[in-house]
A and B are shown apart, each in its own frame.
Chain A
Amino acid sequence: MSNVTVLPNSPVWPNKTGIAFEAFTQGGEHGTMSQVMAPPWLDVLDETIGACVTHRRPDLEARLREKRAQQLDPKLRVLVVGESKQGKSQLVNALLNAPVCAVGDDITTTVPTFVQHADTPSAALVRNASAGGSIFHTPTERIAVPIDQVTKQAAAQHVVRAEIGIPRALLDSGLVLIDTPGVGDTRSAHTASTFATLMQADAVLLVSDATGELTSAEMTLLKKVMEACPNVTVVVTKIDLVPSWRSVVERNRALLARAGVRAKLIPVSSALRLRAAKTGDQRLNAESGFPELVTCVQSDIVASAELLARRAVAVVASSAITQLVTPLREELTAHDSSRTVATISTLQEAQRRVDELRRRSARWQNVLNDEMADLISDVEYDLRDRTRKILREVDKTYDEADPAIGWDKFEQWLEDNLNEAATTNFAWLMERAEWVAAKVAKNFPVYREDLIPGSVLPDDLLEPASKLEKPKIEPFSMPQKLFTGLRGSYGGVLMFGLVTSLAGMPLINVISLGAGALFGGKSILDESDQRLKRRQAAAKAAAQRHVDDFFMKFSKDVRDSGRHIQRSLRNHFSTLAEELQETLLESARSAKRAVQDDQTERERRMREGRKELDKLVTLYKRVQALGGPAMELTA
C-alpha cells in the first residue's frame, strides 16, 4: 500500500493523511518507496477527477474521490462475498481462528461486518442516527456492544454495519476483512448493502461451496464484482463435506477460463481449520487448505497493494472515462441537435404566420368595405322610409285641418317626429357599425383584447336642421268678406230684379233682394273655402320642403358619419395589423438569427468536443497503461 503522506499536486486530506502518517511512522514496511513521490496512478486518478469536474459529473467525481481516499488509506479492505449459505462468515472465522462472525443454518449475517485489528477485542454497531433518512450522507453513530451480542443486535433497524476489533497477526498490516450478507437472498436489502460495500473493497474473496460448481448466478455476480474491483479470488469452501470436491474445483476452473476471468481458485475447509486450531493439529490445518489462502491473502493482497491499487484505479477510472466519452461522442455524431431543430421550426412557424397575416388582412379589408357600403345604403333607405311616412301623415292631416288654426302645434309635432326618426335611424347606424366592427375583428388574423375599437362615433353629429318656415296664410278679413258678399249679391239682385221687372216689379224688390242676399252669402262661403284650400296646399308645401331639407341634411350627415366610421375602423385595424406584422417579422428575424447563431455555436462546440474527446482518449490510454481490462476506446 502506498503510504503517501503529503501530495504536492493534490488537496490535503486531513483524516487520511493523518492515518497514513501514523501508519508510516509506526514502521509500515511498504511505505518507504512511495513516500517521496506520488505513485503514477494517483496522477492519472487526479486527472480523471479533473475531467469529471470539467464535464460536470459530480456523481462520478464523488465516486472517484471516494476511491482516491480509499486508496490513500493504508487499510486494505478485503470483501468476502457470495450467495447465501456458502460459508462466508465461517471462512472469516476460520481465517482468524476466532468466532467473530456468527454462523448459523438459516440466514445469519444481515449487515456487513468489518473485522480489523485492535489491541483488545471490541465490537460496535454503526447505525443511521436519523431514522428513515436517505442512505446517502446521513450521520451515523457508533454503539459499543459485547462481541457475542453483535449478531443479535445487528438485526435491529437502521444498523448499517458492525465493526469488530480483534488482535490478530494477519490483520496487523491494516487488513480489514468484511463479511457480507448473502447475495441473491429473498430479502433484497441484504444484497443492496453488499453491493454498497463492494465499492470500498480493495480485494474480494468470492465464496462458493464445493457442493456444486459455480452457478450462472454466481458467474453473474463474479462479473459484477470484477467491474468494481478486479482483484478477485474464488474460494471453494466446505471441501470436507464433498467427496468429489476435486472435480468440482476442476469444473470451476474450466468455467472461469471459459468466461475469461483470471482469478485464483483456492479450495478450503473452514471446519477442518477450526478443528485444527482447537487441537493444534498442523497436518489438519494443512489439509484445510487455509495456509494457501493465508499466503494468498498476504502475498497477493497485502504485499502487492500497489499493484492492486493500480488495477483498481484503472478499472474505476476507465469506467468513469467511458461514461464521460459516451455523451460527448453522441453529441459529436448527432448532426441536428434537438435545439437546432427547435430553432428552425420556430423560424418556419414565424414565416408561416407572417404569410397568414398578409392573406387575412386582405380579407378583413374587403369585409369592412362591403359591410360599410351596405350599411350606408340601408341606413339611407331607412331614413327615407321614415320621412315619407311623416309626409304622408302631414298630407292626411292637412286634407282636413286648417293650417291657420294650431300651426304652432303642428310645427312642434313635425319637429318631434323628425327628431325621433333621426334618433332611431342614427341609433341603428351605430348598432350596425359596432356589428361591422365585430365582424371585421372576427376576420382579423389574431385575437387581441383591444381588437374591437372602444368608440367609432364621430363627435360633430346631429346639427339641428333648418327651422320649418311657416307658410303664407292670407287672413280673410271682414271688408274682404263684405266686398266678396256684395260682389256676389250684386249679380243676384240684378238677375232676379230683371226677371221680376218683366213681371212689372221694380228692379229692386223683395225677391231680387232675397236672391242677392243668397248669392252674396254663397260667394263668401266659396271664397273662404278656396282660401282654406290654398292655405292647406301652402302648409303641405312648407312641410314637404322642410322634410326634404331635413332629409337632405340628415342623410348627408349619416353618410358622413358612415364614412367616418369606416375610416376610423380601417385606421384602427390597419394599425393593429401593422403592429402584428412587425412583431411577427421581428420574431421571424430573430428565429433566423438563432438558426445562424446555432450553426456557428455548434461548430464551435464540435471543435471543443473533439478536443475534449482527444484529451479523454489520451487519459484513457494512460489509465490502460496502469493495467486492467483492455477495452477499445477511440475518438
Chain B
Amino acid sequence: MTLDRVVWSMLQEALGVYRDSPRATAWLRSHVERYTEPVRIAVAGRSRIGKSTVVNALVGDEFTPQSSFVWYRGGTEPRAQVFTGPGRPHEVAIGRRGSRNHVETGQFDRADRIVVDWPARTLRDVVLIDTPSEATPEQVLGDADALLYLMRHVQDEDLKFLQSANDHPIARTAAVHTVAVLARADEIGAGRIDALSSAKQIARRYRRDVAVEPLCQNVVSVAGLLAVAAKTLREDEFAALRVLSSLGREELEDHLLSADRFVGEQFPLTMEPAVRQALLERFGIFGVRLITALIRQGFDTQVKLTGQLVQRSGLGELRDSIAVHFVERREILKARSALLALDVLFRMEPRQNARKLMADLERVVASAHDFRELRLVAALQSGRTKLPAELQAEALRLVGAEGVAPLARLGFEYEADARELREAVLDALVRWQAQAADVHAPQDHRKAAQIVVRTCEGLLPQFG
C-alpha cells in the first residue's frame, strides 16, 4: 500500500474512533476534506520582502495587499469570502483600485482569513496562501502543506523561521515541504543590468550551503516586480516603455541613474511625470532599465518581451520548482499534513482505543522511507547531490522519480515474472551496497547510495 492510501485509511479509522467527540470529528473532517484538495502553499517571509508581489506574479493578477491571511483558490467565477471568528463567512465584492483588484474588506476590522476564488491556470493545482509578516511559523504552517519562504540573503532570522518550521518529530523526518526564494533578486545586484544572473548564482550557492540545505528542497531567485510585470504588462505601459527605449542609450542611462531623476522635471521626452511615476512603481528602476534594454535588443513585441521577462525574472524557475516539488508530490505532502494532524489529535485527546492508531502513526513516520526518497529526488534533480551520470539515472529511477511501482523502479518495460524481478533487485542491491561502502566516494554520494540500498531492501520481500 502506498503512503497516501495508508494515511487515508488511518484518517477514516480515526473518524470512527473519535466519532463521539465533536471537536475531534470536526478536526478530522477538515483534514479529510483537505486530503483531496490541491496542495496548499503558504508564502511567508519578513515584512516588505514582497510576499504579495510573488503571489500576484504566480496568480497572474494584481491584488492590493491585505493585513490578514489571504487564500487564492481556483474557481470559475471571481468570488471573495471573509472569515471572522466562528460562524459563516461573509461574501464581499472584488473591486478595482487603479490597475489592481481589491477585496472590499473595509467593513471588517479584523479578518481571520480572506478566501479569494479566482479563475487562473496556476490555481488549478495549488492553493496559495499569502501570510502576514507577523504570523508565527505555527500559524503559517497550520493550514499549509508546503511553504515558499521569501528572503533577501539567508540571515539568521530566516534560518530560525525555517528551523522552527521543522521543529517537530514528524516534520523533521519529512522536511520536504519548503522551497526558499531569494525575492527581490533585482536588488541583490544593486539594480545592475546583470543583477538577475548574479542572483541566480547566489541561489545556486545557497542550495549547497550546509546551513540552508537541510531546511529546504530548493533555492530559487525571483525578481518579484518583474515577474508581476511579465504577467500583467498592459498596452499603454508597453507603448510608454517603447518610447523610452527610443531614447539614446547614454541619455536614458543618465536619467535612469536614480528614481528621483527618472521622475524629475528635466526629462528629455514629452512624457507625463505621472506616467513615469506609474512605470517606476510598477516595474522599479531596475525593471525600467531591463525592459528598455530588452526592447532595444529586439524583444520589441509584447509577446516576445513577456516571454523574456518570465524567464529572466525567475518566475519560470519558481513555477517549475512548485510543479516538481509540490504539485507532483501532492500525495506525500498531503500525507505529511495528515500525519501531523493525527499527531496533534492524539496528543490533545489521547484515548485507549486509539492505541493502535498511535502505534500505526509511529510506524508510518519511522518507516517513512518515502520522505527520504523524496529528498533524494530533490537533491539529485537540483544538482545538490551529484552522482556519476549513469548512476544518477539509475538512482532516480530506483527511488521512484519515474513512478513508484516496482516495475517502473526497476526499469522493466514488460511484465517480468517474480524470479526475474528478484534477480534485478538483488543485482541492484549488491551494486548499490558497494557504492554505499565506497570509502573514496564523497559523503553525499554515499548517503544517496544508502537511501537507494534501503529502497532495494524494501523491494526485495515483494518477490519472495
Chain B 387-406 per-residue mask, 1 if CB under 8 angstroms from chain A, else 0? 00000000000000000000
Closest chain-B Cβ to A590's Cβ sits at a distance in Å of 57
Assuming the A-B contacts A241-B191, A241-B285, are A84 and B258 also in contact, with contact meaning beta carbons closer than 8 angstroms in the complex?
no
Interchain Cβ contacts within 8 Å, total number: 89
The segment from B169-177, B198-206, B308-316, B326-334 found at the interface with A is: B198-206
Does residue A431 face the partner (Cβ distance < 8 Å to B)? no
Contact with B along A217-259 (1 / 0, CB 8 A): 1000000000000000000001111110100000000000000
B187 touches A84 (CB 8 A): no
What is the size, in residues, of chain B's interface with A at 8 Å between Cβ atoms? 39
Question: What are the residues of chain B within 8 A of A105 when measuring CB–CB?
Answer: 188-190, 195, 198-199, 201-202
Question: How does the 8 Å CB contact mask read for A270-289 relative to B, with 1 for contact and 0 for none?
Answer: 01100100000000100100
Q: Output the least CB separation between A305 and chain B (Å).
A: 33
| A85 to B156 Cα, complex, angstroms | 14
Most buried by A among B152, B195, B211: B152
> Complex formed: what's the CA distance from A269 to B259 in Å?
11
Q: Is the CB of A85 within 8 A of B211?
A: no
- Does B88 reach chain A (CB closer than 8 Å)? no
Q: Is B257 an interface residue (CB 8 A)?
A: yes
Asked if A83 contacts B285 (CB within 8 A), the reply is no
Complex interface bits, A88-104 against B, C-beta within 8 A gives 1, otherwise 0 = 00100000000000000
Whole-angstrom distance between the alpha carbons of A242 and B261 in the complex? 11
Q: Which residues on A sit within 8 Å (CB–CB) of B154?
A: 186
Complex interface: chain A residues within 8 A of B49 (CB): 212
- A87 adjacent to chain B (CB < 8 Å): yes
Chain B residues with CB under 8 Å of A240's CB are 191, 257-260, 285
Contacts of A83 in B (CB 8 A): 155
Q: Which of A85, A213, A284, A287 contacts B152 (CB 8 A)?
A: A85
Q: Chain A residues with Cβ under 8 A from B212's Cβ?
A: 186
Which residues of A sit under 8 angstroms from B190, Cβ to Cβ? 87, 90, 105, 238, 241, 271
CB neighbours of A450 from chain B (8 A) = none
B259 touches A241 (CB 8 A): yes
Report Cα–Cα, A287/B155, bound state, in Å.
32
A143 sits at the interface (CB 8 A)? no
Summarize A's interface: helix, strand, loop or mixed. loop
Q: Which residue of B lies closest to A245 (CB)?
A: B259
In the bound complex, residues from chain A placing their C-beta under 8 Å from that of B188 are: 85, 105
Chain B residues 190 to 232 lying within 8 A of chain A, measured CB to CB, are: 190-191, 195, 198-199, 201-202, 205, 209, 211-212
Q: Given the complex of chains A and B, what is the CA–CA distance between A85 and B155 in angstroms?
A: 11
Given A186-B211, A215-B46, A241-B190, also A84-B153 (CB < 8 A): yes
Residue of A nearest to B258 (CB): A240
Cβ B153 vs Cβ A85 within 8 A: yes
Asked whether any CB of chain B lies closer than 8 Å to the CB of A399, the reply is no
Chain A hits for B187, CB < 8 A: 209, 211, 238, 241
Closest-CB distance, A549 to chain B (whole angstroms): 92
Tell me, in angstroms, the Cα distance from A209 to B188 when the chains sit together: 11
| In the complex, chain A residues whose CB is within 8 Å of the CB of B257 | 240, 271-272, 275, 284
A172 in the interface (beta carbon within 8 A): no
A84 touching B184, Cβ below 8 Å: no
Chain B CB within 8 A of A184 CB: yes
- Residue with the greatest number of chain B CB neighbours at <10 A, chosen from A84, A105, A106: A105
Residue of B nearest to A217 (CB): B157
Q: Does B272 contact A (CB under 8 A)?
A: no
Chain A residues positioned under 8 Å from B209 (CB to CB): 186
Specify which chain A residues have a CB less than 8 angstroms from the CB of B426 in the assembled complex: none
Instruction: Tell me if A84 and B259 are in contact (CB < 8 A).
Output: no
Name which residue of chain B comes closest to A275, CB basis.
B257
Q: Is A185 an interface residue (CB 8 A)?
A: yes
| In contact, A269 and B153 (Cβ under 8 angstroms) | no
Residue B280 interfacial (CB < 8 Å): yes
Residues in A with CB closer than 8 Å to B258 are: 239-241, 269, 271-272, 287
Q: Considering only CB atoms, which chain A residue lies closest to B279 in the complex?
A: A243
**Bitwise interface map of B from 18 to 58 toward A, beta carbon under 8 Å scored 1, else 0:** 00000000000000000000000000001111000000000
A593 and B96 alpha carbons, distance in the complex (Å): 90
| CB of A33 closer than 8 Å to a CB of B | no
CB A90 to nearest CB in B, in angstroms, measures 8
Interface residues of A in 96-137 (CB under 8 A from B): 105-107
Bound-state Cα–Cα, A77 to B75, Å: 62
A389 to B: closest C-beta gap in Å: 80
Contacts of A287 in B (CB 8 A): 258, 260-261
* Chain A, range 263-317, C-beta contacts under 8 Å to B: 269, 271-272, 275, 284, 287
Taking CB atoms and an 8 Å cut-off, the chain B residues in 6-21 that contact chain A are: none
- Tell me the chain B residues, 36-86 only, with Cβ under 8 Å from chain A: 46-49
Contact of B259 with A184 in the complex, beta carbons under 8 Å: no
- The smallest C-beta distance from A332 to any residue of chain B, in angstroms, reads 41
B362 at the interface (CB under 8 A from A): no
Tell me, in angstroms, the Cα distance from A184 to B160 when the chains sit together: 12
A residues in contact with B259, CB < 8 Å: 239-243, 245
B286 in contact (CB, < 8 A): yes
Q: How distant is B323 from chain A, measured CB to nearest CB, in Å?
A: 28
- B285 close to A186 (CB less than 8 A): no
Q: A243-B277, A287-B258 are in contact. Are A212 and B48 (CB under 8 A)?
A: yes
On whether A241 and B47 interact (CB within 8 A), knowing A105-B198, A184-B157, the answer reads: no
Q: Tell me the complex Cα distance, A342–B159, Å.
A: 49
What is the CB-to-nearest-CB distance from A192 to chain B, in angstroms, rounded to a whole number? 13
Q: A184 to B184, Cβ gap below 8 A?
A: no
Chain B residues whose C-beta falls within 8 Å of the C-beta of A85 in the assembled complex: 152-153, 188
Q: Shortest beta-carbon distance, A99 to chain B, in Å?
A: 14
Nearest residue (CB) in B for A243 is: B259
Chain B residues, CB < 8 A from A211: 48, 184, 187
Decide if B280 touches A243 in the complex (CB within 8 Å). Answer: yes
Considering the complex, give the chain B residue whose CB is closest to the CB of A284. Answer: B257
Q: Is B338 part of the contact surface with A, judged by Cβ < 8 Å?
A: no
Q: Does B132 contact A (CB under 8 A)?
A: no
A interface footprint on B135-159 (CB within 8 Å = 1, 0 otherwise): 0000000000000000011111101
The residues of B that contact A245 with a CB separation of less than 8 Å are 259
List the A residue with the shortest CB-CB distance to B185.
Answer: A105
Given contacts A240-B259, A243-B277, contact A186 B202 (CB under 8 A): no
A89–B257 CA distance with the chains assembled, in angstroms: 20
Kindly provide the distance from the CB of B123 to the nearest chain A CB, expressed in whole angstroms: 29
B281 at the interface (CB under 8 A from A): yes
B64 CB, nearest partner CB in chain A, Å = 16
**Please, how many angstroms separate the alpha-carbon atoms of A530 and B258 in the complex?**
160
In the assembled complex, the Cα of A515 lies from the Cα of B133 at a distance in Å of: 157
Cβ-based interface call for B263 (8 A): yes
For A399-410 the 0/1 string (1 means CB < 8 A from B) is: 000000000000
Contacts of B159 in A (CB 8 A): 186
* Distance between A138 CB and nearest chain B CB, rounded to angstroms: 27
Q: Residues of B contacting A185 with CB < 8 Å?
A: 153, 155-156
Please give the distance in Å from A246's CB to the nearest CB on chain B. Answer: 9
User: Which interface residue of B48, B153, B184 has the most chain A CB atoms within 10 A?
Assistant: B153
Q: Are A106 and B191 in contact (CB under 8 A)?
A: no
Q: Do B155 and A243 touch across chains, with their CB atoms under 8 A apart?
A: no
> A238: nearest residue on chain B (CB-CB)?
B190
Q: Which residues of chain A are within 8 angstroms of B47 by Cβ–Cβ distance?
A: 212, 215
Within the complex, the shortest CB–CB distance from A210 to chain B, in Å, comes to 10
- In the bound assembly, the distance between CA atoms of A56 and B259 in angstroms comes to 58
Q: Is the CB of A184 within 8 A of B205?
A: no
Cα–Cα, bound, A271→B202 (Å): 22
Of the candidates A106, A186, A238, A269, which one forms a contact with B201 in the assembled complex, judged by CB atoms under 8 Å apart? A106
The 5 closest A-B pairs by CB, nearest first: A240-B258, A243-B259, A105-B198, A212-B48, A243-B280
10 additional A-B pairs beyond A106-B205, A239-B259, A284-B257, beta carbons within 8 Å, are A84-B153, A105-B189, A106-B198, A106-B202, A188-B156, A212-B47, A238-B190, A239-B260, A242-B259, A243-B263
- 5 A-B pairs within 8 Å (CB atoms) are namely A106-B205, A186-B155, A241-B285, A243-B262, A269-B258
Residue ranges of B at the interface with A (Cβ–Cβ < 8 Å): 46-49, 152-157, 159, 184, 187-191, 195, 198-199, 201-202, 205, 209, 211-212, 257-263, 277, 280-281, 284-286
